[in-house]
């Protein structure tokens, strides 16, 4: 498959469309047409181990039973040097991720974290949690269609106020990860 001017070409067949959704994964053929440059996957050094299982498996254990009785979704995050564990509990299942770094490329400054606990706040502020993406989409659908059809301006406002997007690459993030994280490494407003 390769990207055509107004659609896609699959084998010898040309399929035209008003929009093409490029969801072809990590080895994307479409990415260079969307962002204008060819990027290749690069290892971060992290490995993620995932599991998911039904809550029913936790009901009979007194240590895990409280997780099965919650009426709200729950997330827990544990952080340590080069390893993170993340658990999500929904109304019917538990998802668990362990993220491990496979080589030592950084130093941990526990004193810095102790003096600034905000540093470890997760980048998921209230403006994100309280956001109704479905309503936002329906409310602005006609404006988006007009923008696509007629070239009128449409600027999405479902981001934090005064946010200015900055392009980044995996290489930039990996370079920053090798350094000790600076004050504004992760730009987050937890409001």
Residue pair 95/51 in contact (Cβ under 8 Å)? The answer is yes
pLDDT tens for residues 143-180?
A: 988 988 888 888 887 776 777 778 877 778 777 766 65
- Comparing CA positions, the residue from 83, 79, 82 lying closest to residue 120 is 79
Each residue's pLDDT tens digit, 116-139: 766 656 555 566 667 788 888 899
Q: By the 8 A CB rule, do 122 and 186 touch?
A: no
pLDDT digits (tens, 9 = 90+) for 25-59: 877 888 887 778 887 777 777 777 788 888 888 88
The predicted structure's pLDDT at residue 36? 80
The whole-angstrom separation of Cα 85 and Cα 89 is 13
pLDDT digits (tens, 9 = 90+) for 135-144: 888 999 999 8
Residue 104 has pLDDT above 70, yes or no: no
Whole-angstrom Cα distance, residue 128 to residue 158? 8
Q: What is the rounded distance in angstroms from the CA atom of residue 9 to the CA atom of residue 15?
A: 6
Residue in 22, 18, 17 with CA at minimum distance from that of residue 2: 22
């Amino acid at each position: 498959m390769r990207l055509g001017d107004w659609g896609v070409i699959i084998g010898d067949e040309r399929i035209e469309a008003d929009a093409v959704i490029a969801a072809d994964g990590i080895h994307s053929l479409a990415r260079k047409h969307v962002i204008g440059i060819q990027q290749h996957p690069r290892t971060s050094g992290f490995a993620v181990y995932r599991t998911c299982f039904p809550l029913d498996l936790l009901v009979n254990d007194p240590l895990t039973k409280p997780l099965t009785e919650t009426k709200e979704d729950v997330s827990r995050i544990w952080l340590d040097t080069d390893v993170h564990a993340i658990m999500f509990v929904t109304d019917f299942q538990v998802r668990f991720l362990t993220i491990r770094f496979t080589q030592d490329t950084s130093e941990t400054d526990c004193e810095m974290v102790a003096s600034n606990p905000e540093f470890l706040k997760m980048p998921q502020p209230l403006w994100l949690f309280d956001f109704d993406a479905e309503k936002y989409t329906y409310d602005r659908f006609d404006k988006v269609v007009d923008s696509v059809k007629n070239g009128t301006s449409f600027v999405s406002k479902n981001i934090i106020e005064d946010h200015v997007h900055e392009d980044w690459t995996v290489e930039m993030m990996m370079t920053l990860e090798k350094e000790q994280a600076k004050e504004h490494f992760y730009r987050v407003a937890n409001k």
